[in-house]
């Protein structure tokens, strides 16, 4: 009888340790996302005045998160995106990258799926490259980015999941007329400083 009690106590202790380990594994996650980003009021992306109403380009994200509870997560996001502008003659290309901090709230939909929404805010470094009269120019601008995001995850296993998300970013303070090189002063500078739009991404994630 004593041996049975000891055996049961050992099994319960082992089970509790395993449960704690599983819970610990669920606290952290890493995600890799690829997709596209579309800007409304696109013209501020270009260094020069541009009446094009909408353009799209590729986007990538690498996210790291910590679940402080089952439903609430803090995250750190590294992102980048890029696109050609309508200034085809000068081969102008715009790309940006940066870092954001944010949070998400999760809602369980089934044993294997969940929905979430969240808000992120961070810094952006935008860069335009172009060629004019056989000279190459690289113009760098700094700004801020705020983003509302919502997504759906489906778990392939306890640790791995795939998902899809939509983002609604707003970029601010990207442009200043002082950023235009003297050699390009004959072009009409772009006066707009804020752009907004939406993005769609597919995701692979892992918990650890």
The total domain count for the chain is 1
Coil, helix or strand at residue 20:
helix
Task: Please list the alpha-helical segments (H only) found in the chain.
Answer: 2-25
pLDDT tens-place values along the chain, 208 residues long? 555 444 434 444 444 444 444 444 568 999 999 999 887 654 455 666 666 666 678 999 999 999 888 789 999 999 999 888 777 677 888 888 999 999 999 999 998 999 999 999 999 888 888 888 889 988 887 888 999 999 999 999 989 999 999 999 888 766 554 567 778 777 776 666 677 888 999 999 999 8
Give which of 187, 167, 163, 166 is closest to 177, Cα–Cα: 187
Q: Is residue 190 part of a domain?
A: yes
Handedness of CA 5, 8, 12, 18 (dihedral sign): positive
Q: How far apart are CA 77 and CA 120, in angstroms?
A: 8
Handedness of CA 180, 89, 79, 171 (dihedral sign): positive
Q: Is residue 173 part of a domain?
A: yes
Q: Is residue 1 part of a domain?
A: no
Per-residue pLDDT at 14: 42
Q: Is residue 20 part of a domain?
A: no
42 and 48 Cβ atoms separated by less than 8 Å? no
Q: How far apart are CA 21 and CA 87, in angstroms?
A: 55
Q: How far apart are CA 181 and CA 137, in angstroms?
A: 8
The β-bridge partners of 147 are 120, 169
Q: Print the domain residue range for 155.
A: 26-207
Coil, helix or strand at residue 167:
strand
Q: How far apart are CA 183 and CA 7, in angstroms?
A: 83
**How many other CB atoms are there within 10 angstroms of residue 34's CB atom?**
12
Q: Is residue 201 part of a domain?
A: yes
Model pTM?
0.78
170: domain CATH number? 2.40.160.20
Q: Is residue 13 part of a domain?
A: no
Handedness of CA 62, 167, 207, 162 (dihedral sign): negative
- Provide the strand spans (E) within 68-134: 72-84, 93-108, 113-132
Q: Is residue 2 part of a domain?
A: no
């Amino acid at each position: 009888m004593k041996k049975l009690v000891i055996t049961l106590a050992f099994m319960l202790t082992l089970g509790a340790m395993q449960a704690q380990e599983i819970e610990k594994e669920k606290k952290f996650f890493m995600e890799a996302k690829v997709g596209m980003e579309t800007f409304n009021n696109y013209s501020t992306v270009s260094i020069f005045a541009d009446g094009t109403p909408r353009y799209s380009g590729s986007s990538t994200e690498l996210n790291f998160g910590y679940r402080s509870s089952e439903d609430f997560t803090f995250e750190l996001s590294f992102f980048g995106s890029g696109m050609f502008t309508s200034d085809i003659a000068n081969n102008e290309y715009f790309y940006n990258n940066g870092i954001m901090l944010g949070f998400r709230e999760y809602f369980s939909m089934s044993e294997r799926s969940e929905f979430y929404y969240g808000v992120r805010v961070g810094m952006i470094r935008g860069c335009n490259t172009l060629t004019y009269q056989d000279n190459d120019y690289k113009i760098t601008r700094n700004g801020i980015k705020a983003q509302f995001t919502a997504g759906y995850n489906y778990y392939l296993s306890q640790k791995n999941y795939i998902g899809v998300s939509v983002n609604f970013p707003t970029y601010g303070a990207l442009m200043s007329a002082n950023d235009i090189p003297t050699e390009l002063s004959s072009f009409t500078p772009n006066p707009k400083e804020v752009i907004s739009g939406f993005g769609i991404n597919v995701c692979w994630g892992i918990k650890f």
